[in-house]
Amino acid sequence: MKKVTFWGTRGSLPVSLSSRDIREKIIAALTAANGKNFKTPAALASFVDTLPFATNSTFGGNSSCVEIIGNSTEHVICDMGSGARPLGNARIAQFGVSQPQTYHIFMSHLHWDHLMGFPFFAPMYIPGNRIIVHGCHHQLEEAIRLQMRTPCFPVDYSQAGASIEFDIMTPGQTYEIAGMKVTAKQQLHAGKSFGYRFESDNRSVVYSTDSEHKLEDIAEYEAFVHFFAKADLVIFDAMYSLAEAVSVKSDWGHSSNVIGVELCQAAAARRLALFHHEPVNDDKQLSRLLAETRRLEEITRGGNAALEVISAYDGLTIDL
């Protein structure tokens, strides 16, 4: 494996910046620039780069979609949230319509925020393309067909030009797919959710979203530590605060940044990516959460190697 690119990082539903959000960013940038003189566009660009992430950028608003880039010419995608639309457009821009491509799509579960990008994934309409949808739910094909059926969507599933296949995986069994070893694990979430561990070239990535972790369940805790073991990157559902996850939002099927740090430290993982962001949290809140999580990791690591903590955002690419 070479890289991971995040095309959608929000949970539950897509969100967008409001006019008020943009206005606040402009005010913050102009306040920071007050009294400064930028003689060239390059000088201005350099100044913008010094601004906090919450001012000069955004975590984005697309729902879950992550691309894992390996040595194979075949594409590997986790979930088809609304981020699948820009991903599909990027691949068409890269390869055109005259070079057929193969896309492996791994579905964590069948809730709408993880499926809604499928009808907008342009490669599915191009003859010659091959799409293999992998997952552990036996209703995979039914769920995708359902959301493209009248009156829910104007283009029926039957109008897809690509060849679409469905592969029902067995949790705990390792498969060879697109040059990677892939293993699925069942997770605690309404309707069942499945995480995936991808391994190749002595690198490993774990995609684990929409998963709740009961602290009192020692056996399941240890099973996740094993699943995350020494991963180069763990993409982790950190939708709630710990207080929310264990109280008012208990049994809602999501986890927290605190539990992500604890599991990754116990597993000796190298990097943790906070993911599936709460849609009500704006860029400032998510930036504060990242800073707090890094501080938590620092004061709890003990004598172990440091765990790098990042917060995923739409468009982020990580080298493995």
pLDDT bucket at 255, cuts 50 / 70 / 90: confident
> Is the pLDDT confidence value at 287 over 90?
yes
Contacts of 249 (CB under 8 A, 6+ apart): 240
| Top-tier CATH class for 3-16+57-319 | alpha beta
> Is the pLDDT confidence value at 299 over 90?
yes
Q: Give the per-residue pLDDT at 304.
A: 82
Per-residue pLDDT, averaged over 176-201, amounts to 95
Q: Give the per-residue pLDDT at 127.
A: 96
Strands of the sheet containing 203-208, edge to edge, are 174-177, 180-187, 193-200, 203-208, 233-237, 271-275, 308-311
pLDDT per position as a tens digit, 204-234:
999 999 999 887 889 989 999 999 999 999 9
Strands of the sheet containing 130-135, edge to edge, are 163-168, 130-135, 102-106, 75-78, 65-69, 3-8, 317-319
Rounded alpha-carbon distances, angstroms, from residue 14 to 173, 254, 287? 33, 17, 19
Comparing C-alpha atoms, which of 97, 95, 87 is closest to residue 118? Answer: 87
Comparing C-alpha atoms, which of 179, 185, 224 is closest to residue 199? Answer: 179
Per-residue pLDDT, averaged over 30-35, amounts to 94
Q: Give the per-residue pLDDT at 250.
A: 65
The continuous run of DSSP H or E covering 25 comes out as helix 19-33
pTM exceeding the 0.85 threshold for the entire prediction: yes
Rounded Cα distance, 211 and 217, in Å: 14
Contacts of 225 (CB under 8 A, 6+ apart): 263, 266, 267
Per-residue pLDDT, averaged over 232-242, amounts to 89
Angle at 273 between CA 230 and CA 49, to 5 degrees: 130
Rounded Cα distance, 132 and 281, in Å: 34
Q: Give the per-residue pLDDT at 190.
A: 87
> Is the pLDDT confidence value at 169 over 70?
yes
> Is the pLDDT confidence value at 249 over 80?
no
Instruction: Identify the residue whose tokens are 């896309």.
Output: 103
Supply the DSSP string of 251-279, one letter for each residue: TSS--BHHHHHHHHHHTT-SEEEEESB-T
- And the tokens for 81? 């949230």
Mean pLDDT of the chain: 94
CB 293 within 8 A of CB 264: no
Specify the amino acid at residue 231.
A
Per-residue pLDDT, averaged over 269-275, amounts to 97
Residue 122 has what DSSP assignment?
G
> Is the pLDDT confidence value at 259 over 60?
yes
Specify the amino acid at residue 111.
H
Per-residue pLDDT, averaged over 171-187, amounts to 97
Percent of the chain with pLDDT over 70: 97
Q: Give the per-residue pLDDT at 166.
A: 97
Specify the amino acid at residue 315.
G
Q: Give the per-residue pLDDT at 191.
A: 87
> Is the pLDDT confidence value at 273 over 80?
yes
Query: In angstroms, how far is CA 76 from the centroid of its own chain?
Result: 13
